[in-house]
Structure 1
Amino acid sequence: MKIKTIKSICLSYLALLIIFYPAKIDALSHKWIAVPKSRYGEQLWDQNSIQKNPDGFIRVLSKFVPKSNTDITQDILYTMEINCSEETFRDIAVGANDFNEFENKDSEWKDPNGDNLILGVINQVCVFIN
């Protein structure tokens, strides 16, 4: 009789623990891939976030990590779209604390203008997706 009572109590505690302290499940954990660094810092893109849009463009999460982090210079998070055939990009949203903190609804396609960090993201993402 004691064993059944102990089992019952343990199972009750386990059920309460599961209900009130659910495990944090991060379904889309990040897999950051770095591009070659520049003198300003480094750029990373998240391999697990890549999506091919119906219009053929690639959407990916990216972040810029400045060479020195202070209160003023901190990581910048981007949601980017990439046009692989034109080697252009646009920032759909940007944030400092979370992705998509500030949406950019009227973003224009931009040429990377020789920015090796952005070119690195474009090249690596386009090679990965194809």
Structure 2
Amino acid sequence: MKINSIKNICLNFLTLLIIFIPLKPMDAISPEWVGVPKSKYGEQLWDKNNIQKNSDGSIRVLSKFIPKSTSKITKDILYTMDIKCSEGTFRDVVVGANKFNEFQNKDLKWKHPNGDKLILGVIDQVCAFSH
């Protein structure tokens, strides 16, 4: 008798929780930001949930730069970037200030990070994560 009473109480409590606390819909593409070591200019994050392999073997990832100080002029910058892990190179395919994919980059040449710690961090972490 005690076990049935406990079960009923638990089921009633669970029912009340379900009724009064709505579940958030699961969004498979919601970002899971991973930060690389910060620099004196700010920080760089990449989205663990938005990585895809391109047909040429490179990896496409969403990334965002958060400047150390923000204002109306200096805002977060959103990037869709491709990374060639074998060469340690990258290219920014699309850039945005308010949302991803606002401005198509006309210069799609592969670039070396040239010592940029934030870009090097993204390349290292994304390549390690995707292999």
Does residue 100 of the first structure (1) align with residue 101 of the second (2)? yes
Tell me whether 1:67 sits opposite 2:38 in the alignment: no
The percent identity for this pair of structures is 69
Letter of the structure 1 residue corresponding to residue 78 of structure 2: L
* Structure 1 stretches lacking a partner, 5+ long: 1-22
Mapped pair 1:30 → 2:31:
yes
- Partners of 2:120 and 2:27 lie apart in 1 by 29
Query: Gapped runs of 5+ residues in structure 2?
Result: 1-23
Q: Which moved more, 1:39-48 or 1:102-111?
A: 102-111
- With the length of structure 1 as denominator, give the TM-score of the two structures: 0.79
- Structure 1 residue identity aligned to 2:87: E
Aligned residue number for residue 77 of structure 2? 76
Counterpart secondary structure, 2:49: helix
Q: Give the equivalent residue in structure 2 for 1:111.
A: 112
SS in 2 for 1:128: helix
TM-score (norm 2): 0.79
TM-aligned CA deviation for residue 105 of structure 1: 4.4
2:49 match: 48
Does 2:70 correspond to 1:85?
no
- Between stretches 26-35 and 41-50, larger displacement belongs to 26-35
CA distance in 2, matches of 1:99, 1:25: 21
Deviation at 1:26, TM superposition (A): 3.7
- The number of equivalent residue pairs is 108
Q: Distance in 1 between matches of 2:99 and 2:56?
A: 26
Instruction: Report Cα offsets for 1:71-114 as digits up to 9, x if no partner.
Output: 01110000000000000000000000010100124411000000
